[in-house]
Amino acid sequence: MSNNQLIINLPESFSNKRRVLVIIDDDIDEVNEKLLLLKQATNDPLFLADIQEVKEDFNFIDSETI
């Protein structure tokens, strides 16, 4: 689609409808943005402190026997 045009053939059941919602989401860009944020988080002191706190919480739980 070099012209950025989207054509959707709607079923006949849509003939009496006034609105149709179409959402276009570029998953590739979204995934890349999330990966970039995760990479940045590895240098964020607050994030690292949160991870350490969770790790300590689970260390206590892991030592319990069921």
- Structure confidence by residue, pLDDT tens digits, 6-48: 888 888 888 777 787 888 876 777 788 888 989 999 999 999 9
Question: What pTM does this model have?
Answer: 0.42
Q: How far apart are CA 55 and CA 61, in angstroms?
A: 10
Which 3 state secondary structure label does DSSP give 23?
A: coil
Q: What pLDDT shows up at residue 64?
A: 65
Rg over CA atoms, the chain: 24
Q: What pLDDT shows up at residue 50?
A: 92
**Residues whose CB is less than 8 angstroms from the CB of residue 10 and which lie 6 or more positions away in sequence, other chains included:** 20
Q: How far apart are CA 14 and CA 6, in angstroms?
A: 18
Q: What pLDDT shows up at residue 2?
A: 67
